[in-house]
Amino acid sequence: MRSKLMVGNWKMNGSLMANASLLADVLAGMADVQCRAAVCVPAVYLAQVQTLLAGSAMGLGAQDLSAHEAGAYTGEVSADMLRDFAVRYCIIGHSERRQYHAESDVTVAIKAQRALAAGITPIVCVGESLAEREAGQTEAVVKRQLAAVIHANGHCISEIVVAYEPVWAIGTGLTATPEQAQAVHAVLRAQLQAATAHADRVSILYGGSMNPANAASLLAQPDVDGGLIGGASLKAPDFLSMLKAASR
């Protein structure tokens, strides 16, 4: 059975002082936490957070990496650079990257490949817009997005994490019902099972406005293996509440 994985995505938030305070509070409250946990932080804070998390059970994650290995790509951060900071996870293809930076399915697949080659677990995000859901295209959209990653990574696909993040439920206060989330997670699980004999190793996280009020009901679904948590991960009591919900 897969242990739950809870990942905080700080997005473009934080400061040296705020990071230290937040993580001190989170780490102090983790005595009863049994699930796997990580925080994905802005690249400029990786060194600080690596030090703050030293010796703890909390994993360090990044929010993006370059599709290139090295070279004249000003402003980019490579997978090997992230590995220098003991990064264990990297969010790949978040809907905000797809929307605001025009990342294609192919680009996302290549980035996942770069992460795996560096020994970093990619958290590959898939999800549909409200218009796509209303048009009945949810299954086709998420399967297309995941298929690109499966095609590019072959037998290594069992080493990824998938995060289903309905675009219409990110930062909007809207959340998929447990039943809606489970339905999409089941589709993704079946797609992974068709691609690898080790699909049971792959954690599928829910990533659309999970919060302390809905975490337990979402996490109770058979194919929901954890959460990719945005704003609530910036509040120690809320993040801890969800970590403990995932530990039951």
DSSP for 29-41, please give it.
T-TT--SEEEEEE
Quote the pLDDT of residue 1. 61
Q: What is the pLDDT of residues 20-66, one digit of tens each?
A: 999 999 999 999 999 999 999 999 999 999 999 999 999 999 999 99
Cα distances from 8 to residues 97, 184, 241, in angstroms, run 17, 21, 13
SS3 content of the chain, % helix, strand, coil (to 5): 50, 15, 35
Among candidate residues 76, 94, 96, 185, the one labeled active-site is 94
- CA 208 to CA 166: how far, in whole Å? 6
* Whole-number average pLDDT of the chain: 96
165 is catalytic: yes
Task: Report if pTM > 0.95.
Answer: yes
Q: Could you report the per-residue pLDDT of 127-143, keeping only the tens digit for each? A: 999 899 999 999 999 99
Q: Is 94 designated active site?
A: yes
Number of domains in the chain: 1
Partners of 49 in the beta sheet?
none
Give the CATH number, domain containing residue 191. 3.20.20.70
Q: Domain range spanning residue 164?
A: 5-245
d(CA 202, CA 132): 26
Which of the residues 69, 165, 179, 198 is marked catalytic?
Answer: 165
